[in-house]
Amino acid sequence: MQGACLIGSRVFREMRVAVSKINPFALTSVLRAAVCLSSVALGKGIHACSVKTLYDAEPRVCGALLDMYAKCGGIEDARLAFEMVPHDDVILWSFMISLYAQSNQNGQAFELFIKMMRSSLVPNEFSLSSILQACANMPLLDLGEQIHSNAIKIGHESELFVGNALMDLYAKCSDMESSLKIFSSLRDANEVSWNTIIVGYSQSGFGEDALTVFREMRAAPAPSTQVTYSSVLRACASTASINHVGQVHCLVEKSTFNSDTIVSNSLIDSYAKCGCIRDARKIFETQKEHGLISWNAIISGYAVHGHAAQARELFDRMNKNGIQANDITFVALLSVYGSTGLVSQGLSLFNSMKLDHGIKPSMEHYTCIVRLLGRAGRLHDALNFIGSIPSAPSAMVWGVHCLAPV
């Protein structure tokens, strides 16, 4: 692919010498080549050429320039390019709003959307779905409802992109009733629509409802994706339904996601939370590569079941493989040391976390140590430890101390 892009950029240079006038098609093609090569230098050269030939304001060229800067330079470069062209094309506005929303720069997305509205341009389905995504990122239900009303007024509510974005907004704001209402109104619901409902139920703790929607999705039929399987497995874990985990696992094995890392991580987590740590370990050992999430999933699985030795063995193996532990890894290990009464090992690990791994303790880590000392009956040491916490101890820390056995 890169070879073809290099050839394309070379042909463009030769074309510049042989032909007096470059057309927009050539400019957009070579800008795609710049993206393929991740060459912002080439992209800037094409930008200069487009300015000289007066094609920089041509919508297709401008769109390609924004895309190139976003993928090779950064959003700031894309914004500079956007500010240099006439602002009479809603597609370009939509592109910039989308960039900001996808980068979680929601304030800038809102600012641009308001400017677009004040310029008398009518939002299209892409600008509406992008600004709704920004609302969902926050999440801002009131503002999202206002944009929903605006979408109804201009007749875009039934557009698939807008409908999916509205469903996501309401789901993230824990309003599954409104999300379902939008879903029911869609004429051409796709896998994203189904996934949004499943994810919404799973994240809201309604595992049984998520599983019901998954069954309806399969009967529709709509194709299951990585998001589908990982979200359904999360729902299985929340209901501690080992039968459902097994059924979903069978479906995964028959699908193209049978070696997908994200799905296999979800299987590890689900089997562990349903009490089948051996099955979780089997999935872990069959993975081609173990990322940090994979290690944390299996270590946390052993920790939840009180298997301190196996959790520590995996932690040591993880370090030997050059995987850097994070705060989640240490919460799992400190928790299992606390539940199994391994005080000296827990205190040693806590110090190692700070000194050897460079991880600043969070309130969750402090809570683990207070629980560790409290369960061992070392209430005075626990109180002294609370006094050494740099910031004000949370209610959880004090609660753990108060519940410690006397």
Start-to-end Cα distance in the chain: 69
> Residue 81's pLDDT is what?
80
Q: Which of 336, 253, 293 is nearest to 284 (CA)?
A: 293
Phi-psi region of 114 (alpha: psi -120 to 50; beta: other; left: phi over 0): alpha
> Residue 73's pLDDT is what?
72
> Residue 18's pLDDT is what?
47
> Residue 21's pLDDT is what?
63
Rounded Cα–Cα distance for residues 134 and 288 (Å): 36
Query: pLDDT 10s digit of each residue in the chain, 406 long?
Result: 555 555 545 555 555 554 556 777 878 887 888 778 787 887 788 788 888 777 777 878 888 888 888 888 778 888 888 887 777 889 889 989 999 999 999 999 999 999 999 998 999 999 999 999 999 999 999 999 999 999 999 999 889 999 999 999 999 999 999 999 999 999 889 999 999 999 999 999 999 999 999 999 999 989 999 999 999 999 999 988 899 999 999 999 999 999 999 999 999 999 999 999 999 999 999 999 999 999 999 999 999 999 999 999 999 999 999 999 999 999 999 999 999 999 999 999 999 999 999 999 999 999 999 999 998 889 898 889 888 888 887 877 777 656 556 5
> Residue 406's pLDDT is what?
53
At residue 248's C-alpha, the angle toward residues 244 and 254, to 5°, is 150
CA distances, 320 to each of 269, 300, 315, 323 (Å): 23, 18, 9, 8
Phi-psi region of 175 (alpha: psi -120 to 50; beta: other; left: phi over 0): beta
Amino acid occupying residue 294 = S
The encoded tokens of residue 268 equal 């590890």
Rounded Cα–Cα distance for residues 208 and 291 (Å): 30
> Residue 2's pLDDT is what?
52
